[in-house]
Amino acid sequence: MRMWFLSAGLALMCMAQSAAAGTVLIVGDSISAGFGLDTRVGWVSLLEKRLKAEGFTDQVVNASISGDTSAGGRERLPALLAEHKPQVVVLELGGNDGLRGQLPTQLKQNLALMIDRSQAVGAKVLLLGMQLPPNYGPRYNEAFARVYAELAQEKNIALVPFFLEGIGGHPELMQADGIHPAPAGQGKLLDNVWPRLKPLL
């Protein structure tokens, strides 16, 4: 009888751990896809290691594609939601929209639709904000950065105001192109994300 209770208890513990496990879906561009890097040193891989180290059982699905825009992410998202059924969706898009001079209003519409679709299936959303180099001009840059803050407030979602905070503008943390973080900057990317992501797990 005692063995039966022990077995039942272990089974319940395993079931509870399984039920607690979730999926974190990351939909991003080259920064999250690990462009120019061994992906094993990218911030998403570092996230997987930190989750395990802190006792989380969540699975990470990295659906990031180099060169992707908010429009591309918008089109890809429904299939990703259906396949992975995530509990948390991390949106890291918009940098390529800005570099191509696309309208901030269009960026906002695309991201808003992605947020709505994620929330409709019960997922929590973390939005990673981006900023552009100063050569794009203050008016455009301000309108671009404002998109993320406005969406976070309007949709009541978590926000990292600037994903590359403390990395952009530091040559030792960037690759030679000045756009993509180097291996030395990947830990800082994770540190920027973690305080906003952890409460959602």
CA distance 179 to 175: 7
19 pLDDT exceeds 80?
no
Mean pLDDT score, 136-160: 97
CA distance 89 to 119: 9
Residue of 32, 45, 70, 180 with catalytic role: 180
Confidence band (pLDDT; 50, 70, 90) for 153? very high
Q: Is there a catalytic annotation at residue 18?
A: no
- Answer yes or no: pTM beyond 0.85: yes
Residue of 30, 32, 45, 70 with catalytic role: 30
Task: Please indicate, yes or no, if residue 9 is contained in any of the structural domains.
Answer: no
Residue of 64, 68, 177, 191 with catalytic role: 177
Q: What is the per-residue pLDDT across 43-79, written as a single tens digit (0 to 9) for each?
A: 999 999 999 999 999 999 999 999 999 999 999 999 9
pLDDT score, position 85 = 98
Task: Please indicate, yes or no, if residue 14 is contained in any of the structural domains.
Answer: no
Q: Is there a catalytic annotation at residue 58?
A: no
Task: Please indicate, yes or no, if residue 10 is contained in any of the structural domains.
Answer: no
Task: Please indicate, yes or no, if residue 87 is contained in any of the structural domains.
Answer: yes
At residue 181, what are phi and psi to the nearest 5 degrees? -65, 145
197 pLDDT exceeds 70?
yes
- The CA radius of gyration of the chain, in Å to the nearest whole number, is 19
Task: Please indicate, yes or no, if residue 81 is contained in any of the structural domains.
Answer: yes
Alpha carbon distance, N-terminus to C-terminus of the chain:
37
pLDDT score, position 21 = 77
Task: Please indicate, yes or no, if residue 3 is contained in any of the structural domains.
Answer: no
Task: Please indicate, yes or no, if residue 192 is contained in any of the structural domains.
Answer: yes
80 pLDDT exceeds 80?
yes
pLDDT score, position 20 = 52
Sheet containing strand 88-92, strands side by side: 59-62, 23-28, 88-92, 124-128, 158-160
Task: Please indicate, yes or no, if residue 153 is contained in any of the structural domains.
Answer: yes
Please give the mean pLDDT across all residues of the chain: 92
What residue numbers bound the domain in which 174 lies?
Answer: 20-200
CA distance 91 to 26: 6
Q: Is there a catalytic annotation at residue 180?
A: yes
150 pLDDT exceeds 50?
yes
What domain count does the chain have?
1
> What's 123's domain CATH number?
3.40.50.1110
